[in-house]
Structure 1
Amino acid sequence: MISSFRLTGAKPAQLLSGLAPYKNVLVVIAATLLTVALTLKLLAPASAPDLAQPGNASRVLALTESWESGDVIALVRHAERCDRSTAPCLGAADGVTVRGEATVRKLGMDFQQLGLNTVDIYSSLLTRARQTADAMFIRPVEAQDWLFNCRGTMLRDALRHKVPGRNLVLVTHSECMEQMEKDLQVPTDTALGYGSALFIKADGSSVQPKMLGYIAPEDWRRLVPGMTGMVTPARAVLPL
């Protein structure tokens, strides 16, 4: 009985003793696996940055400078949908809510502060997108089918409508904004809410357009100290 117990107890020690010559090899393998995992994590594409976050000041500066140069494509998600809300509707059931229209009216003022002198604006054909564009901008906005039927073609079609030296604002849908992220090989794990604006730098060079980030409608006021809900076109625009 005692002899049997000792033999059983000796097995783990014998196993460890047998692995001793391979200790350094096992350490190297473990370190290699850890290095590979960290490298893959670092090399993985990052999600679209939230420009209202303090750590993205350089991206906000890049946005304002690119906007001044007419090198920006901005995708704006339509206002709150009437058919998915209990809030009062602005009009038709396939349009936006009264609350949503008020939100994007303020958003239109934010874009006016950026400057709309050298901007081309298009919207999706759907009612909710057209109502959003009408609320945001005083001038008529041309509706385009590709801003709803955008699967696999969003970046290509946006670049086709981008005029050198003129910014491009597209009032569209969450699916098309996700398609733009896919086209730019950016993860689509960020939920872009109603009225969110996604900004891409596209200067017409051979370089792939660059994702600058997004701004939620309620966060524009955080971009400029001492101002409420507005962004100035000055180069000094930085998050708090």
Structure 2
Amino acid sequence: MKVRLLIALTLCLGVVTETALAQVGSLGSSSSLTDKIEKTSKPEARPQPAPADSEEMEAPQRRTPRSRSRRGRTSPDESKTPVEMKPADAATVEPDALDRTDAKLVAEACLVAYQKPDFDALSRLSTGGNQDLFDELAKAGEDHPRYESITSGFRWESVSKWKRTDPLTVRYRGANTAVVEFGASRDESFVVMLEWENDQWCFEDINSPSRDAFRELPRQRE
């Protein structure tokens, strides 16, 4: 009887022991899973860089000013070089300072004034019949009814293309008319017409005779 009771107690103790061990194992696995969740949910701490030694921390360097001789700038020596001056504009020559007996000089002054256009200068260079017109143009400018016709058409185009380096050729038609060629096309000559008034050459018009007609004019004034 005692033997049976002892066996029964032993079996009971075995069952209790296995149950306890099972509970302990279950808690352990739960704790491990929690650790995994915490590891996956929290970012891994990145290693912080080691602070630099005080010797390696240098103050920012100041920019060294560039020499003024770089990138086209002049150095102190170069700045002393005199600047090349452009020649003065010949259009500033006053009509009263011209030799009005020289047909070529007068024609050149007329072309320069026409290109600007400087109607005041053209008035002083013109014949008596043209002076009033250019005086009115000088005062009214673009509002004058003749302004557009004076600054357009073959006259304006031919004068605008003229350069002071282009040669001027003088011919005469009688004693009181000078015809000064300043340009030409294939068939036409572009000329300044001058009239002799009050012992001087005066501007009359811009004309375009045929080249043959211009060549037939005499070179000498009669």
Give yes or no for TM over 0.5.
no
Question: Which protein is bigger by CA-based radius of gyration?
Answer: 2
TM-score, normalising length: structure 2: 0.25
TM-score, normalising length: structure 1: 0.23
